[in-house]
Amino acid sequence: MYAHPKLPSFRLDGKTALVTGASRGIGMACASALAQAGARVTVAARSRLDLELVCRAIASAGGDAQALILDVTDSERVNSAVIERGPFNILVNSAGCNNPRPMVDVEDRDIDEILTLNVKSTFYMCRAVARGLLQVGQSGSIINISSQMGHVGSHGRTVYCASKHAIEGMTKSLAWELGPQQIRVNTVCPTFIETALTEEMFKRPGFREWVTSKIALNRVGQIEEVMGAIVFLASDASSLMTGSALMLDGGWTAA
Active site residues: 160
Q: Helix, strand, coil shares of the chain as percentages rounded to 5?
A: 50, 15, 35
> Residue ranges of the alpha helices (H) in the chain?
25-36, 48-60, 75-85, 108-115, 121-136, 158-178, 196-202, 207-213, 224-234
Helix (H, G, I), strand (E, B) or coil at 20: strand
Strands 183-190, 140-145: pairing kind: parallel
Do 62 and 38 form a contact (C-beta atoms < 8 A)?
no
Sign of dihedral through CA atoms 240, 245, 251, 254? negative
Rounded distance between C-alpha atoms, residue 50 and residue 47, angstroms: 5
